[in-house]
Amino acid sequence: MDYRKEFRVEPGKKVHLGRIDPGYTGKHESHEKAQPEIREHLERMAELQYLLYANASRSLLVVLQALDAGGKDGTIRHLFSGMNPQGTRVFSFKQPTPDELAHDFLWRVHARTPGKGEVVIFNRSHYEDVLVVRVHKLVKKSVWSNRYEEIEHFEELLAQNGTTILKFYLHISPEEQLARFARRLDDPERRWKISESDYSERELWPEYVEAYEEALEKTSTDQAPWYVIPSNAKWFRDLAISKIVADTMEEMRLRLPPTRVDLDEIRRKYHAAKRAQAR
């Protein structure tokens, strides 16, 4: 199955989240049956990330957005289980600090983008500035409505500089969110995740959907596509995302860099060291 075709938001197309089934799991019957495939994607990712790091000429940026309890943290844990911590970073965007608010909205984001050879995952992102900021009217419409274009230009700049960009919206149903909230209440291990605003934000679900739909429509481009990932089933979410990431990295045509040293010279030094050690 080509999840990139299936879940990609086509540039310029309308998005109706209500028409996308968050419980979709494709032809897969269960986590157990999908497990070998998931493992295969993770192994491919590990190999490709090694090449990306060794090559140090390109980079990968993965943007994760979702409503509360949408599964961003779980996705990050899963994706990184297939990568070497060397050369990877995750950054979580919280409410902006006064210093950040004193700058344009992309200032703090640009500073966190991946350098050559790196994989960076954004847990929330510059998209909060057309989502939470819009829903809570933190700035005027005339300000946030310009941001779609500003975001597109920003992402184009990153892409032209060698960054491959993937953006995932983790699509869950309100029922699944409430079930996850219940688990947080019941399970002492999960209680730390409960936030004061969970239920007040939940009441704004329709406003968030509207804001997400517009963001997905206006900022899905060939260079920085959005994918709407059915995420009620965590294992399917992990399967789809790891496949899209691995397939995309494969297309980056990553190769080991050529050796920069004179190998005959290095071999000579090695044998000299070997002889010295034997003495």
* Residue 135 binds ligand AMP, judged by CB under 6 A: no
* Residue 129 binds ligand AMP, judged by CB under 6 A: yes
Q: 114 by DSSP, 3-state: which?
A: coil
Binding track, positions 224-253, relative to ligand AMP; x by CB under 6 A: ------------------------------
Residue choice 96, 107, 145, 210 for contact with ligand AMP (CB under 6 A): 96
**Burial (0-12, 13-18, 19+ Cβ within 10 Å), 203:** exposed
Please, which residue, 94 or 260, has the CB nearer to ligand AMP? 94
Inter-CA distances, 258 with 115, 142, 161, 198, 213, Å: 20, 51, 21, 52, 45
* Residue 95 binds ligand AMP, judged by CB under 6 A: yes
* Other Cβ atoms closer than 10 A to 138: 15
Are 65 and 169 in contact by the 8 Å Cβ rule? The answer is yes
Residue choice 128, 155, 176, 238 for contact with ligand AMP (CB under 6 A): 128
* Residue 17 binds ligand AMP, judged by CB under 6 A: no
Query: What does 84 interact with, of ligand AMP, Mg ion, none (CB < 5 to 8 A by kind)?
Result: none
Residue choice 94, 137, 253, 275 for contact with ligand AMP (CB under 6 A): 94
Please tell me the distance from the alpha carbon of residue 50 to that of residue 154, in angstroms, as a whole number: 27
Identify which of 231, 229, 261 has the alpha carbon closest to the alpha carbon of residue 3. 229
Query: What does 211 interact with, of Mg ion, ligand AMP, none (CB < 5 to 8 A by kind)?
Result: none
Inter-CA distances, 73 with 77, 151, 278, Å: 6, 24, 53
Residues 174-203 that bind ligand AMP (CB under 6 A): 195
Amino acid at 46: A
Identify which of 172, 198, 238 has the alpha carbon closest to the alpha carbon of residue 17. 172
Query: What does 76 interact with, of ligand AMP, Mg ion, none (CB < 5 to 8 A by kind)?
Result: none
Amino acid at 88: T
Residues 180-199 that bind Mg ion (CB under 5 A): 195
Please, which residue, 22 or 70, has the CB nearer to ligand AMP? 70
Please tell me the distance from the alpha carbon of residue 234 to that of residue 254, in angstroms, as a whole number: 30
Q: How far is the CB of 106 from Mg ion (least distance, A)?
A: 23
Q: Fill in the DSSP letter of residue 17.
A: G
Q: How far is the CB of 227 from ligand AMP (least distance, A)?
A: 20
* Residue 147 binds ligand AMP, judged by CB under 6 A: no
* Residue 97 binds ligand AMP, judged by CB under 6 A: no
Count of residues near ligand AMP by CB under 6 A: 10
Query: Which residues lie near ligand AMP (CB under 6 A)?
Result: 93-96, 124, 128-129, 132-133, 195
